[in-house]
């Protein structure tokens, strides 16, 4: 069989088991999307604060643009001619927000996760990751020269056992976790991991705040702020492409680590920098982030309402965030529920293996501060009806 025929066979198989992925062109209208003439509340976006759909913000930003500063390309990497003054402004602001020495911005959260670990983790390193960390972290770990093991999702006892067993054998151990898990919507217990770091000495903590940055913490800095452990974490990473309505990834860290990454991190060195226009938009939003408390509070309230309404449905793991999963089990079941909810005006997609473990296909409801209480009540009612086959 030639390669193309084997690709075709695999696609046929993916379709048969309900795991075929496809693209869905959508028009956007605030918190709604339009597809084939149907208007649906968008529950599949990571626009958690509702900033991406806020036309007022866009209008205010457009007022600042001139033909001179409207630069759509950096035209080279940061290390060549792509390091515009605004890059330093964004990084200084970020470092200051966290009270850390330095920050470095990357082209995306994916670049961040595939680049940082291979740069920091050499031969004599063990990376210990939560079983459910994002694919980009797994790819970064695979690209590194470090030894690697995983602990059961959120199982602090198992993590402690691994550290106890291994800490004397390696120069450094990097514990890699997400703060809010993208597919389960639950939170890591960062203070417990920080206690282990203090105990073992050679442990460094890498936390990906992709789904918490902007959303959690008094100033929107994420779970590390909410749990009061910013200063104990070595590598706090985040993305601008979700709550911040922009694009890019970042790390806040020490000055030495920043300089080391500039010299050793391949996706940073070998890729064209983000366009200056994008840096301007990021800066514009970052400056307002701490004052977006009302949006954070409203989102937390909406999330509590949905979780409470679905509690009796019995299939929701007890999450405490704006990401609310509904377990379906088999992929075809998740696909059926998603289709029925779309028909009823709710744009939700099935999340299937390999994104989640086999047998745990689900719907993932991503809430946004641009939604209204009555839309969430209506959503909850429809979810229960679809689940009960009404």
Tell me which residues touch ligand PMP (CB under 6 A).
108-110, 113, 134, 136, 178, 182, 208, 210, 239, 241, 249
CB 208 → ligand PMP: shortest distance, Å? Answer: 5
Q: Which is nearer to ligand PMP, 23 or 168 (CB)?
A: 23
CB 170 → ligand PMP: shortest distance, Å? Answer: 25
CB 31 → ligand PMP: shortest distance, Å? Answer: 19
Closest CA to 97 of 207, 204, 218: 218
As given in the structure block, the two tokens for residue 298 are 């409203």
Closest CA to 176 of 139, 212, 201, 213: 139
CB 246 → ligand PMP: shortest distance, Å? Answer: 9
Q: Which is nearer to ligand PMP, 100 or 134 (CB)?
A: 134
Q: Which is nearer to ligand PMP, 280 or 323 (CB)?
A: 323
Q: For the chain, what is the total number of helices (H) and then of strands (E)?
A: 14, 14
The β-bridge partners of 360 are none
Task: Tell the burial category of 271 from Cβ atoms under 10 Å away from its Cβ (0-12, 13-18, 19+).
Answer: middle
Comparing every residue's Cβ against ligand PMP, the nearest one is: 109
CB 237 → ligand PMP: shortest distance, Å? Answer: 8
Q: Are 275 and 115 in contact (CB under 8 A)?
A: no
Question: What count of other Cβ atoms lies within 10 Å of the Cβ of residue 57?
Answer: 17
Q: Which is nearer to ligand PMP, 131 or 297 (CB)?
A: 131
Cα dihedral 100→104→107→111 (10° resolution): -80
Q: Which is nearer to ligand PMP, 351 or 380 (CB)?
A: 351
As given in the structure block, the two tokens for residue 317 are 């793991």
Q: Are 209 and 224 in contact (CB under 8 A)?
A: yes
CB 212 → ligand PMP: shortest distance, Å? Answer: 9
As given in the structure block, the two tokens for residue 77 are 């990497």
Q: Alpha helix locations (H) across 78-207?
A: 85-98, 109-120, 135-143, 156-166, 190-200
CB 366 → ligand PMP: shortest distance, Å? Answer: 11
Q: Are 320 and 308 in contact (CB under 8 A)?
A: no
Residue listed under structure tokens 């602090």: 156
Cis upstream peptide for 37 (omega within 30°): no
CB 93 → ligand PMP: shortest distance, Å? Answer: 19
CB 265 → ligand PMP: shortest distance, Å? Answer: 15
Q: Which is nearer to ligand PMP, 112 or 380 (CB)?
A: 112
Name the strands in the sheet holding 172-178, side by side, starting at the edge strand that comes first in the sequence.
Answer: 102-106, 249-253, 235-239, 203-208, 172-178, 125-130, 147-151
Q: Which is nearer to ligand PMP, 134 or 197 (CB)?
A: 134
Three-state DSSP at 151 gives strand
Q: Which is nearer to ligand PMP, 222 or 276 (CB)?
A: 222
Q: Which is nearer to ligand PMP, 128 or 351 (CB)?
A: 351
Question: What count of other Cβ atoms lies within 10 Å of the Cβ of residue 233?
Answer: 27
Residue 15 parent element (H or E): helix 3-16
Closest CA to 326 of 336, 143, 170, 225: 336
Q: Which is nearer to ligand PMP, 243 or 369 (CB)?
A: 243
CB 210 → ligand PMP: shortest distance, Å? Answer: 4
């Amino acid at each position: 069989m030639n390669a193309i025929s084997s690709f075709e066979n695999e696609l046929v198989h993916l379709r048969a088991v309900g795991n075929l992925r496809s693209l869905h062109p959508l028009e956007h209208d605030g918190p709604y999307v339009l597809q084939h003439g149907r208007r649906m509340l968008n529950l599949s976006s990571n626009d958690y604060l509702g900033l991406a759909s806020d036309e007022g913000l866009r209008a205010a930003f457009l007022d600042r643009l001139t033909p001179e500063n409207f630069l759509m390309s950096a035209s080279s990497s940061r290390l060549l001619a792509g390091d515009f003054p605004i890059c330093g402004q964004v990084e200084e602001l970020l470092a200051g927000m966290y009270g850390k020495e330095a920050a470095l911005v990357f082209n995306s959260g994916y670049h961040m996760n595939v680049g940082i670990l291979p740069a920091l983790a050499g031969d004599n390193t063990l990376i210990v990751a939560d079983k459910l960390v994002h694919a980009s972290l797994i790819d970064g770990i695979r690209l590194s020269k470090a030894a690697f093991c995983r602990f059961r999702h959120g199982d602090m006892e198992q993590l402690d056992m691994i550290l106890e067993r291994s800490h004397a054998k390696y120069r450094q151990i990097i514990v890699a976790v997400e703060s809010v898990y993208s597919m389960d919507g639950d939170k890591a217990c960062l203070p417990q991991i920080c206690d282990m770091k203090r105990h073992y000495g050679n442990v460094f903590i890498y936390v990906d705040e992709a789904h918490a940055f902007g959303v959690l913490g008094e100033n929107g800095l994420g779970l590390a702020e909410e749990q009061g452990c910013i200063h104990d974490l070595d590598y706090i990473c985040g993305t601008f492409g979700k709550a911040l309505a922009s694009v890019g990834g970042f790390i806040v860290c020490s000055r030495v680590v920043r300089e080391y990454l500039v010299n050793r991190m391949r996706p940073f060195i070998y890729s064209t920098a983000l366009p200056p226009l994008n840096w301007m938009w990021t800066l514009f939003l970052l400056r307002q982030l701490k004052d977006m408390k009302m949006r954070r509070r409203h989102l937390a309230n909406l999330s509590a309402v949905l979780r409470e309404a679905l509690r009796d449905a019995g299939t929701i793991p007890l999450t405490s965030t704006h990401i609310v999963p509904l377990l379906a089990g088999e992929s075809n079941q998740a696909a059926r529920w998603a289709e029925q909810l779309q028909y009823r005006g709710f744009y939700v997609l099935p999340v299937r293996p390999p994104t989640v473990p086999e047998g745990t296909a689900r719907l993932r409801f991503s809430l946004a501060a641009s939604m209204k209480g009555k839309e969430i009540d209506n959503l909850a009612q429809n979810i229960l009806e679809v689940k009960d086959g009404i």
